[in-house]
Amino acid sequence: MATNMQHDNKFVLNDTVIFDIILFIFFLVLAVLSVDYNPRARSIPLGLGILGSAMMFFQLLADAIPALRSHLHFVVQSGILGAGNETNQKNEEKPERVTLYWWKVTRVVLWLAGFVVLLTQVNYLIAVGLFIILITKLEAKESWLKSIVLALCLDASFYILFDLILQAHL
């Protein structure tokens, strides 16, 4: 048991941690660069940079220091593209798992391509709402109710932010 605790306290450096570091740096740079913008222009990048930095910091801690995962229970360790983190970290990937993982990635890319096409055809609120409903229902396997509520909340947030506050009228 003591050896497991020592092993869990180690800092892990793998592709997931490197990706977390890259995203963390991106969000920090976004926050720092946005300070030079005028007050109206900096509100979105500054908020996104600060929030993204905080979120990526916690994700980085959870991915890099396995012992902290139990304390950071609010950080999700798997998601829509999760293909079994333990298997991937041990480099004992089975061909079926790798194929399944890339099929999931391909589906998400196709969803995003469809979303971009839909954005050119209809109002952005309709495109965002439909995209969120379909991706959460079909890919994340959530209930229709959760998918619709999430889409409505996101659409309302986008409407308030872009149409009312920023008067961007996308």
> What is residue 66's DSSP assignment?
G
pLDDT at 81: 45
- State whether 66 and 102 are in the same domain: no
**Which residues of the chain, if any, have pLDDT below 50?**
1-7, 80-91
Q: Assess if residue 44 is contained within a domain.
A: yes
- State whether 71 and 129 are in the same domain: no
Q: How far apart are CA 59 and CA 110, in angstroms?
A: 26
> What is residue 81's DSSP assignment?
T
pLDDT at 9: 62
Structural domain for 72, as ranges: 9-77
pLDDT at 70: 75
pLDDT at 164: 87
Both tokens of residue 65?
Answer: 């220091």
pTM over 0.85: no
Q: What would the pLDDT profile of 135-150 be if each residue is shown by its tens digit?
A: 999 988 899 999 999 9
pLDDT at 28: 94
Of the candidates 20, 50, 77, which is a domain's last residue? 77
> What is residue 11's DSSP assignment?
P
pLDDT at 153: 95
